[in-house]
């Protein structure tokens, strides 16, 4: 495997094949490239492709990773399990979910399905949606399942008041409705996979024996259920490679726990930690500013992004009086760039 295309730290990560590995990958540092070369290098060292798993958060990321690995090793890439947490778990459940009392033909309910069921339950219980919005109820159920709590376990942690009792009752009826319909919601996909592995040791052993090398992308975005799943898979082999950046943790509101990446060395004291700090996306001016800003964060891993690229244009800061003034300034800036500097609209972005 030719690793000369990688920078020194990327190459070190791609060559570290055994044991727990934490790759701290700053924005624009080539993390996907590094992970794909590492997977390809495992195969080059004789690891069967079917023994490799890579977990991502989006179908796009999984698709890109699979395509890049295929470019390096050919059709063998198809034998590795590279997919989202949910797609990998669905594959596992399709094989053995009958052990949990479901049929293999189970259906997956989306957000609209969930809200429809909850509204039916509200009508049955004469529950006023103004007092307990359906979206809030759905979020409570999702949070509980991401923490691997049943309705009863959730209630034990609650204030145990009338509202909590009503939430518990709706939660219980919701799960009963799903089971009766042979259906899972998105959170069930992870939690039921965990239940299957824990309650049926032969199933867990099958996957531990098969997947000796596990990779996780965007590790800072994992919640408790996903973290628990990864730990189960790798408890024996300990060949776990996680890639992420605590500075990019923005999904705490949906259950992501940045401590999973911050405490990786606590989970695996012998873990190798490699930092990818060379940036290929931004100018040094932007990186210098971002480094100064993020340095004010507490409880973060020390890192400093740098680039070999040019200094670039200075960053402009405009302090508008109000939202309308802000919008007007942005529109005028776009107009001037297009008219005077001939910049294409496709080259502009507003965040």
Model pLDDT for residues 106-122, shown as the tens digit of each residue: 999 999 999 999 999 99
From 282, 301, 325, give the residue that closes a domain.
282
Using alpha carbons, select from 61, 62, 56 the residue that is nearest to residue 78: 62
Q: Is residue 226 part of a domain?
A: yes
Q: Is residue 100 part of a domain?
A: no
Residue 197 pLDDT: 98
158 and 268 assigned to the same domain: no
Residues spanned by the domain of 321: 289-347
213 and 267 assigned to the same domain: yes
Q: What is the mean pLDDT of the chain?
A: 97
Q: Is residue 99 part of a domain?
A: no
Q: Is residue 3 part of a domain?
A: no
Residue 93 pLDDT: 99
From 124, 156, 181, give the residue that closes a domain.
181
43 and 87 assigned to the same domain: yes
Rounded to whole angstroms, the Cα distance separating 144 from 139 reads 8
Residue 254 pLDDT: 87
**Domains identified in the chain, total number:** 3
Q: Is residue 162 part of a domain?
A: yes
Per the CB < 8 A criterion, the answer to whether 127 and 165 are in contact is: no
Q: What is the pTM of this model?
A: 0.93
The CATH number of residue 149's host domain is: 1.10.10
196 and 272 assigned to the same domain: yes
Helices (H), the chain: 8-15, 31-44, 59-73, 85-96, 111-125, 134-146, 151-157, 162-180, 186-199, 201-210, 224-234, 259-262, 264-267, 284-294, 323-340
CA 328 to chain centre: 37
337 and 231 assigned to the same domain: no
């Amino acid at each position: 495997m030719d690793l000369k295309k990688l920078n020194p730290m990327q190459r070190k990560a791609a060559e570290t094949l055994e044991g727990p590995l934490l790759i701290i990958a700053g924005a624009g540092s080539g993390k996907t490239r590094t992970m794909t070369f590492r997977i390809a290098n495992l195969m080059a060292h004789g690891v069967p492709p079917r023994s490799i798993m890579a977990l991502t958060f989006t179908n796009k990321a999984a698709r890109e990773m699979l395509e890049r690995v295929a470019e390096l090793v050919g059709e063998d890439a198809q034998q590795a399990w590279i997919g989202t947490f949910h797609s990998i778990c669905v594959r596992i459940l399709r094989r053995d979910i009958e052990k949990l009392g479901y049929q293999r033909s189970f259906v997956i309910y989306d957000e609209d399905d969930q809200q429809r069921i909850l509204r039916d339950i509200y009508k049955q219980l004469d529950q006023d949606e103004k007092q307990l919005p359906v979206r809030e109820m759905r979020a409570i159920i999702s949070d509980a399942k991401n923490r691997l709590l049943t309705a009863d376990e959730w209630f034990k942690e609650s204030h145990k008041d009338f509202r909590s009792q009503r939430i518990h009752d709706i939660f219980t009826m919701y799960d009963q409705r799903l089971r009766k319909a042979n259906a899972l919601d998105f959170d069930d996909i992870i939690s039921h996979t965990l239940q299957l592995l824990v309650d049926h040791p032969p199933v867990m052993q099958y996957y531990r024996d098969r997947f000796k090398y596990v990779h996780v992308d965007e590790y800072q975005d994992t919640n408790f259920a996903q973290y628990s799943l990864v730990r189960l898979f790798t408890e024996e082999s300990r060949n776990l490679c996680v890639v992420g950046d605590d500075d990019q943790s923005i999904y705490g509101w949906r259950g992501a726990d940045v401590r999973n990446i911050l405490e990786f060395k606590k989970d695996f004291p012998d873990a190798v930690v490699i930092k990818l700090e060379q940036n290929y996306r931004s100018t040094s001016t932007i990186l210098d500013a971002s480094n100064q800003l993020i340095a004010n964060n507490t409880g973060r891993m020390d890192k400093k992004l740098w680039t070999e690229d040019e200094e670039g244009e200075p960053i402009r800061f405009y302090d508008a009086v109000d939202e309308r003034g802000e919008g007007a300034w942005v529109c005028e800036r776009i107009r001037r760039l297009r008219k005077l500097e001939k910049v294409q609209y496709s080259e502009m972005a507003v965040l």
